[in-house]
């Protein structure tokens, strides 16, 4: 009985103490955590203010440094700003490509089913990495980064990716690349003419001869003129698996690909390029041309072989519409026509 009474008394005293604490009787127990919290908040405010002050000082110093470069060394200022923006864009592309790759792996999405912008990011990033990886390998040894910077300044077109070009370099290099693409065009048309006797159907021979004659005379062909000869590009002599190595080298030169590889590698890189164009066209047709800005339209036209430097935005949209009218009707066995269409549909546009 004594044990029971003592247990009841302990419970009662415990309940009383708890009630006193909740009612504010125990002033010390409530004051102590408030005091500690106030001290912590004051110290955190001091740290925050000091960090903000440091950030402000760094920002002002950076602004003065950029103004000094802009006034005293304008060319170096352009290079500096271009490199900063370029590396930010490159890091953004790396993150975006990683996100898209994870989406393709986790959701089992093939390349051809990606949206247009995601597909274009993957294809252009692959092209940039072909140029960037050798430069990264060269910069691995100690102190080699200084040699890399010198090479980047001396050979920007060969070593730098498009994000690290200045606006003037982008215009100059684009014009230079287009001049390189134009050199083998006459030979490609001659190669198509030499292949006419290998076409079995007389109707296809006649249509192909008419098409080549029209292009060589300086006339821009219509989509129907090219569509009627699409059967020539699915088998012999101009199909992807039937072209001879000489004609494939001409196409690789026009596409700015390596033309000195063995025949099977030439065919492989041409097939990859043609399928990329086909999938991009299908995704763009699904998206709608109206969803692209004028600069994106120009970029799409240049990627498909058209020189947009002297064309208006309306002319670029009209040409891209003609291209999509033909390419969206093709199958994977007819992708060789896309590579030849970069010559047929762009060499005389717009018609004089």
Q: How far is CA 166 from the centre of its chain?
A: 17
Question: Which of the listed residues 156, 171, 195 is the one where a domain comes to its end?
Answer: 156
Residue 78 belongs to a domain: yes
Per-residue confidence (pLDDT) for residue 36, from 0 to 100:
43
Domain span at 75: 71-156
Residue 294 belongs to a domain: yes
Indicate the number of domains in the chain: 2
Residues 206 and 307 both lie in one domain: yes
Residues 234 and 332 both lie in one domain: yes
Q: Which two tokens stand for residue 161?
A: 């990716």
Question: Is 161 within 8 Å of 132 (Cβ atoms)?
Answer: yes
Task: Give the count of beta carbons closer than 10 Å to the beta carbon of residue 311.
Answer: 17
Residues 241 and 311 both lie in one domain: yes
Residues 197 and 149 both lie in one domain: no
Per-residue confidence (pLDDT) for residue 153, from 0 to 100:
78
Residues 186 and 316 both lie in one domain: yes
Return d(Cα 342, Cα 333) in angstroms, integer. Answer: 17
Whole-number Cα distances in Å, 130 to 1, 136, 158, 288 = 90, 11, 11, 30
Place of tokens 């003609």: 322
Residue 17 belongs to a domain: no
Burial (0-12, 13-18, 19+ Cβ within 10 Å), 162: middle
Residues 150 and 194 both lie in one domain: no
Residues 192 and 151 both lie in one domain: no
Residue 162 belongs to a domain: no
**Low-confidence spans in the chain with pLDDT less than 50:** 1-42, 45, 47
């Amino acid at each position: 009985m004594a044990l029971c009474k003592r247990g009841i008394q302990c419970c009662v005293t415990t309940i009383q103490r708890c009630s006193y604490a909740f009612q504010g009787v125990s002033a010390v127990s409530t004051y102590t955590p408030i005091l500690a919290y106030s001290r912590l908040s004051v110290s955190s405010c001091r740290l925050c203010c000091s960090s903000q002050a440091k950030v402000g000082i760094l920002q002002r110093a950076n602004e003065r440094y950029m103004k000094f470069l802009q006034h005293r060394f304008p060319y170096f200022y352009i290079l500096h700003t271009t490199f900063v923006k370029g590396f930010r864009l490159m890091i953004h592309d790396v993150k975006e490509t990683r996100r898209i790759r994870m989406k393709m792996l986790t959701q089992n999405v093939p390349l051809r089913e990606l949206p247009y912008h995601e597909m274009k990011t993957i294809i252009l990033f692959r092209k940039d990495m072909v140029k960037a990886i050798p430069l990264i390998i060269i910069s691995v040894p100690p102190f080699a980064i200084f040699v890399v910077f010198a090479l980047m300044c001396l050979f920007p077109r060969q070593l730098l990716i498009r994000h690290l070009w200045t606006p003037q370099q982008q215009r100059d290099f684009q014009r230079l690349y287009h001049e390189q693409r134009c050199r083998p065009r006459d030979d490609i048309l001659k190669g198509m003419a030499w292949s006419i006797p290998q076409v079995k159907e007389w109707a296809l021979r006649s249509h192909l001869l008419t098409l080549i004659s029209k292009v060589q005379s300086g006339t821009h062909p219509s989509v129907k003129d090219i569509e009627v000869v699409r059967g020539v590009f699915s088998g012999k002599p101009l199909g992807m698996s039937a072209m001879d190595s000489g004609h494939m080298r001409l196409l690789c030169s026009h596409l700015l690909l390596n033309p000195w590889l063995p025949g099977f590698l030439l065919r492989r890189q041409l097939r990859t390029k043609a399928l990329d164009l086909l999938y991009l066209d299908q995704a763009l047709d699904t998206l709608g041309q109206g969803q692209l800005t004028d600069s994106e339209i120009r970029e799409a036209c240049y990627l498909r072989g058209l020189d947009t430097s002297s064309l208006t935005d309306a002319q670029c949209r009209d040409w891209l519409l003609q291209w999509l009218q033909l390419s969206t009707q093709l199958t994977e066995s007819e992708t060789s026509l896309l590579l030849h269409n970069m010559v047929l549909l762009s060499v005389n546009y717009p018609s004089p």
